[in-house]
Amino acid sequence: MKIDKFIHKKPYLIAGPCSAESEQQLLETAHLIKEITDVFRAGIWKPRTKPNSFEGVGEKGLQWLQKVKKETGLKVLTEIATPQHVEKCLKAEIDMLWIGARTTVNPFYVQEIAEALKGVDIPVFVKNPIHPELGLWLGALERLNKAGIKQLAAIHRGFFSYEDSAFRNDPKWEMPIKLRELLPQIPIICDPSHIAGDREMIAEISQTAMDLNLNGLMIETHQNPKNAWSDAKQQITPKKLHQIMDDLVLRKTKTDDDFLKIKLKEFREKIDILDRKIVNILSDRKKIVEEIAFFKRQNKITIFQIERWFEILKFRKKDAVDFGMNEKMIAEFFELVHKYSILTQTKIMRNANGEKLENKRNG
Ligand code: PEP
Ligand code: MN
């Protein structure tokens, strides 16, 4: 993928309200954050989950954004979901565009947008799809790049989850990390507002994003958040935005200090040794799993017994508490271990069936 770098600082900050509501609301908010913000955001076409919610002010919001641009000198950014939106934004000289989570999920929409953008040199931000499907996120970036868009960035806004969680959208930090691994040249902006769904959590999520070395933040900011027409719970005041940005700790990714380097190396060596031990223990565990499989095979016992699995989960969760570990993490770890244990046993059973068939055929 050929990418032109257009983000030159960390953290690159995009801020502004979830939705444009009036010209005055946009101008007031923009003036209060213009010193710290690189880009001003506001949605004018709002993809709402349910009908009868506020669906954005539409086209007239484009003129308000033009005014923000003129009065504050900020770059302006809005969400597009159709080729018509693209056309209108280009005409109104909107500086940058973003594709929302509900659009990234659909390759047809993304392709149409990509085609509408052919031959245009404008930065495009692609939000992750609603569900944790990395392929769709990568696919959308590739489609745009193929259409000639070189100023590309990703926005990590968290993922829908059925599980109970403190977040509106589960951050699943492993997803942006995987994206970074596969497309290292693409900058990643974290959107703590849509991850949190709650203004009290914005600071902490922003800090985590910086600690994971993401490139920037997109934070919904409104001059009167409690009365916002959309996402009222997660928007913050301009004053709070200043405070969060002031408090953000930017840690270095590398160090030139030899003493620190040696210390870091020591820690990493300890971790490497422990990780090797874990793999060794898992290998011992696998040997016992194989013995059990042969035993079950001989005695015609089924591989999977639900009571035993519940028992494992219960005891491991208790172990987690005893050792001061996160119960959910330990449960997830053993789900994975158990999944492979079942696979190992299935293979052994299948081989037994295979042998039986073979004997039948031969004799
Ligand atoms: C938004 O940024 O206001 C928005 C609708 O975001 P998402 O597509 O992440 O839900
Ligand atoms: Mn929003």
Looking at the domain assignment, is residue 327 inside a domain?
yes
* 240: amino acid identity, one letter: K
pLDDT confidence of residue 13: 98
Pocket-testing residue among 44, 102, 127, ligand 1, by greatest number of atoms within 8 A of Cβ: 127
Tell me, using a 6 A CB cutoff, whether residue 158 lines ligand 1: no
Tell me, using a 6 A CB cutoff, whether residue 157 lines ligand 1: yes
One domain, residues 80 and 170 = yes
One domain, residues 235 and 326 = no
| Chain segment 93-148, per-residue pLDDT in tens | 999 999 999 999 999 999 999 999 999 999 999 999 999 999 999 999 999 999 99
Residue numbers of the domain that contains 318: 258-362
One domain, residues 262 and 352 = yes
Q: Which ligand is nearest to the CA of 158?
A: 1
Tell me, using a 6 A CB cutoff, whether residue 156 lines ligand 1: no
One domain, residues 167 and 315 = no
pLDDT confidence of residue 163: 84
Contact call for residues 153 and 123 (beta carbons, < 8 A)? yes
Count each helix (H run) and each strand (E run) in the chain, helices first: 13, 8
Neighbours of ion ligand 2 (CB under 5 A): 18, 231
Q: Could you tell me the CA-to-CA distances from 325 to 82, 271, 337 in Å, in that order? A: 47, 17, 17
Distance 231 CA to ligand 2 centre (A): 5
Distance 49 CA to ligand 2 centre (A): 12
| Region 54-78 average pLDDT | 97
Tell me, using a 6 A CB cutoff, whether residue 43 lines ligand 1: yes
One domain, residues 238 and 316 = no
One domain, residues 240 and 265 = no
| Chain segment 312-345, per-residue pLDDT in tens | 999 999 999 999 999 999 999 999 999 999 999 9
pLDDT surpasses 80 at 352: no
Half-sphere exposure of 261 (CA within 13 A, CB side): 5
pLDDT confidence of residue 45: 97
Looking at the domain assignment, is residue 3 inside a domain?
no
Tell me, using a 6 A CB cutoff, whether residue 101 lines ligand 1: yes
Q: Specify the number of domains making up the chain.
A: 2
One domain, residues 232 and 269 = no
pLDDT confidence of residue 254: 80
